[in-house]
Amino acid sequence: MKTPNEFLLASGSPRRLKLLTDAGWRFSVQPPNVEEIETGLPPAELVYENASRKAKAVSAKQPKALVLGSDTTVAIDEEILNKPTSMPEAKEMLRHLSGRAHEVHTAVKILYTEGSVDLDLSISNRVQFKKLDEAVINEYLDQVYTLDKAGGYAIQEKGELIIESYEEPLSSIIGLPIELVTEKLISLGFDKTFRS
């Protein structure tokens, strides 16, 4: 297989950028111009569709590049909790999650069009919230900006205030199952070109 000319992350997420960087990958960020869907599909299918849209949009313009798209959402009883649009909505999401378990669904699409690589990865993690009172909710939201995060929280930021327990790997809850992604990319030999 011919070597891709570059490795592109089809996402503007600073959390995915950090996970890939910390794992030693060399890549460029190219956020796709796509409309993500927020309703109408079961959560696991919704993240798969969005990850695919992101990767395909970038790969269509850069067929010689290795492209990675990813999407994450939070679901409780199959109800999808996307990114809150306001602080009151973020508070309502935390109240809704308080004392309950929910699922975090993440999907990844890896494309290298010219090399005929088309891989789908998906993972779901169960997360249990502590019982939260209004004081804790306010304290958490005072310290963590959550309007760009599915479910209105970030497990990696002050998670000890709100999280009782969670299923590994933590990286997929943050937004990219980096251990699984790295394993797949190494199996295809891309580490020889794009990893320090």
Q: What is the CATH number of the domain that holds 43?
A: 3.90.950.10
Share of the chain above pLDDT 70, in %: 100
Judge whether 145 lies within some domain. yes
Mean pLDDT of 93-98: 97
d(Cα 179, Cα 181) in Å, to the nearest integer? 6
For 3-62, how does the pLDDT look when each residue is reduced to its tens digit (9 = 90+)? 999 999 999 999 999 999 999 999 999 999 999 999 999 999 999 999 999 999 999 999
44: buried, middle or exposed (CB in 10 Å: 19+, 13-18, 0-12)?
middle
Q: What are the structure tokens assigned to 15, written together?
A: 């959390």
Q: Which of 27-31, 78-82, 158-162 has the lowest mean pLDDT?
A: 78-82
| Full domain range(s) for residue 39 | 7-194
Give the pTM.
Answer: 0.93
Judge whether 1 lies within some domain. no
Judge whether 2 lies within some domain. no
137 C-beta neighbours (distance < 10 Å), count = 20
d(Cα 93, Cα 139) in Å, to the nearest integer? 15
Considering 22, 71, 120, 133, which one is annotated as catalytic? 71
Q: What pLDDT shows up at residue 195?
A: 96
Judge whether 180 lies within some domain. yes
Judge whether 188 lies within some domain. yes
- DSSP letter at 150 equals G
Total count of domains within the chain: 1
Rg over CA atoms, the chain = 17
Q: What pLDDT shows up at residue 196?
A: 82
Judge whether 20 lies within some domain. yes
Q: What pLDDT shows up at residue 60?
A: 97
Q: What pLDDT shows up at residue 44?
A: 94
Mean pLDDT of 82-93: 96
Judge whether 28 lies within some domain. yes
Query: What is the rounded average pLDDT for all residues in the chain?
Result: 96
Q: Does 133 participate in catalysis according to the annotation?
A: no
